[in-house]
Chains A and B, each alone.
Chain A
Amino acid sequence: MPADCLISARHVSKSFGAINALNDLSFNVREGEIFGFIGPDGAGKTTLFRIITTLLLPDEGEMTIMGLDIRNGFRELRKNIGYMPGRFSLYLDLSVGENLNFYATVFGTTVRENYELIRDIYSHIEPFEKRLAGKLSGGMKQKLALSCALIHKPALLVLDEPTTGVDAASRSEFWEMLKKLRPYNITIIVSTPYMDEAMKCDRVALIQEGKILSIDEPEKIRDGFSRKLFSIRASDKYKLIVALRAFPGTVTAYPFGDSVHVTFKGDGLENSVYEYLSQTGLKDVIIQETRAGIEDRFLELME
């Protein structure tokens, strides 16, 4: 276990009846890093986060946070965790200011004491301090929930899908805010179903059906893609996909935005593909080699 390790999980498993929510997870989270759990709904992200916040006990395995065991040390741990559950955990019938003050009081602090920490985030919504939380837009709710989770200056910030259902601009702002928390040395773990957000984390774990597929820095995960990847474009996308699927030299073909990402047998570009595609009537085909993204790697690991 590295010296700067804040969370250490060893062989953690959890089932609900017949459902294996988490299956033998082991990972370390270092102090001060932004660590992302990237995976679809039902991958087990929320269950894992509830174990980390001591709300659930694992069936098997060990986990220590800040050197404290999650089973015995939960009272001490709870004081040092800031938690933002999936549904923002705000009182919709209380105003912005009342929500923030309430969470500050409950955690034994005041808004003034730690205002510096949340200034960047809270200043966006401060003009609406008197407005009820239920009347805020998704992006503003998200900022308020983050302020509430941070108000007691926790050592560990746990954010469960903070960007789900929020528009792309608010999402990108949210990640900028997290980056601005760096000087305070708060360890942040965050889960998201959006693959592209992996790139904003220091390290990520790709998670699927209760298992970790890969843990690494995002760039290294991209580098882990094992074959050469080609991006193929044509104006008739549907026809292109169907044709590439049928092409005997194709290993995988997935639509990716305006192109199709393809790997070929023999790991290079099958030159016969040009001819094959033009025979099917696709005339304006453009093929380029491209670098795999996180999602390409995720797809490869899922196979």
Chain B
Amino acid sequence: MATFVIRRLIASIFILLAATYLMYILTALSGDPLEDLRTSTAPNKAQLIESRTRLLNLDVPPFLRYFIWLAGVGKCFIGQCDLGVTVQNQPVTILLAQAAGSTLQLVTIASLVAIILGITVGITTALRQYSGYDYGVTFISFLFFSLPIFWVAVLLKQYIAIGFNDFLADPKIEYWIIPIIAVVSGLIWMSIIPRKGLQKLLTFGIAAVATAGILFYLDLSDWFSTPHIGIVGIIISSIAVAFGVTVISTGLKRRRALYAALTVAGVGIAIYYPFLYGFSLSLEAWSLALLALVTIGVSFAIGWFWGGADRLPVARTAAITGFLVAGLIALDRFMFVWNQYANSGRIKGRPIATVGSATPGLEGSLWVHGVDLFTHLLLPTIALILISFASYTRYSRASLLEVMNQDYIRTARAKGLTERTVVVRHAFRNALIPIATIVAFDIGGIIGGAVITERVFGFVGMGQLFQNGLDHVDPNPVMAFFLVTGGLAILFNLLADLVYAGLDPRIRVS
């Protein structure tokens, strides 16, 4: 194991050296870094050229200038990283830190949502193989996969930002839209829920009527300008969450688990109003995080007391329920400030943003900033999810299907285990092994950013660092970008191998 890691690391260093050298030369030879000065008519042109040449060592040919840069990188080992300066005399190390922060903010949420959504949808399509739902998802995921992101991003801005903001000026759903959405929703639910004949039709009817009812409610209650879940919504959804989590986590037969989950939901409902109008106002980001931890802890304790003989699964069920119910209440709290936010002087009734990561000069509570972050990250996140969604659904579907056909699944069924136990405990866990490697790769790619998405949405992150460097024929920022992405790619490749070996006992690293 240790020899494997060391051997891989040594090989990686050489790969990185060769790659950086190639990259440096390519960037340095891609144009003339003095071009803008050469066409300048400034009287002190010669001095300016000389000063830039000195700043960036342009008198040293790129083949050797690389080693100057490399020496600076080498200083990282003694704790003084030195990635050089840009044409504008800014230290690249500082720029890199700023860019990485901005990129992480953009891409982390997108990746998390894409992973969760992709795997969920992938698993469900595998369980309903060859259903209308399965075909529908297959079609949609390939459609998304083949869409060019720069185009999708511009369309998203046009319709979801500009179009939705226009809609908000007078938020009334057109009468003919409601039945269309209701029928589509009915079809989707009909294909997901496995029923035959008349029951199938019944599913369709219930789903369609429910959808239409919700839409009418949203329309009549002016929901789009004053969104809310409300106490009724919280009660219904909390109880639904309690049941849902119990079904997946332990099965409804474990009564104690169900009671524990319902107790947690009840506590959540109980603190809804005190939270909404009381102590939530003065919360900071760290205290909210602390509150989340406390919620999980308390819910776990409730489960533990309900638990009986085998406490852990019950406590786990309660903790998950607690987290989700708290999430719902927090979501309602964010919605609570929406109207105030959207009509404030800095937003002027057009909440969904097309550029940047925050509204300039906005000051307010944690919740206001949360909503602001949401309105800015919504579109780039959707754009990023659309591309990675496809691969996650396909891989998780294929992986689960393969596992479901294994002998040990048949054995498990033959033992008389419930379908829930077979799928969640025996199949799902093993299906996740190959997905772990894909996720590891993707996390490696996160920091590299999304050059195009960043540009279209006015995020100045790693992608911009790279692009601006190229535009100015300035190798230093390009190399900083490359060092991070290249380094992470190699690191996560290695990690993926190790994780795979750890998860799957059939594989051994040596």
Is A bound to B? Answer: no
